[in-house]
Amino acid sequence: MKYDKQYWDRKIEEIMNNFDFTRTYRVMEALNWEWCDQGVPDVEDQRETARDLLEQIVDDRFSKPTGRFGTGGFMAEIDINTGFLGLYFIAAEWEECDE
């Protein structure tokens, strides 16, 4: 199945309407997690960053059909073959690969 721009735009809106940015703010505040020495980002700054990540990964979907990238604790992930789009807030992560 081919997913058009309207499909991805709807997915972005669903994520933005349902993601708990208040929770991420509380975590960042508790950890004193600052962005670029400008203090803990408020919910609106977090929302803007998350939307930018989602829009960037959707815009880049034809050069990389699956992928993920992030900043500031947020990570966006896409798989255009299955129509998957996700947003995560990650406080700690470790990955290892021998290749």
Q: Both ends of the chain: CA-CA distance in Å? A: 32
b/e per residue 5-23 (b: at least 16 CB within 10 A): eeebeebbeebeeebebee
Q: What is the strand order of the sheet 74-79 is part of?
A: 66-71, 74-79, 84-89
In a domain, 95, yes or no: no
Q: Is residue 18 part of a domain?
A: yes
Residue 75 lies in a domain: yes
Range of the domain at 28: 5-89
Answer yes or no: is 14 within a domain.
yes
pTM tops 0.75, yes or no: yes
18-67 pLDDT tens trace? 999 999 999 999 999 999 888 999 999 999 999 999 999 999 877 788 99
Domain assignment present for 96: no
Task: Out of 26-30, 58-62, 73-77, 84-88, pick the least confident.
Answer: 58-62
Tell me whether residue 82 is in a domain: yes
Number of domains composing the chain: 1
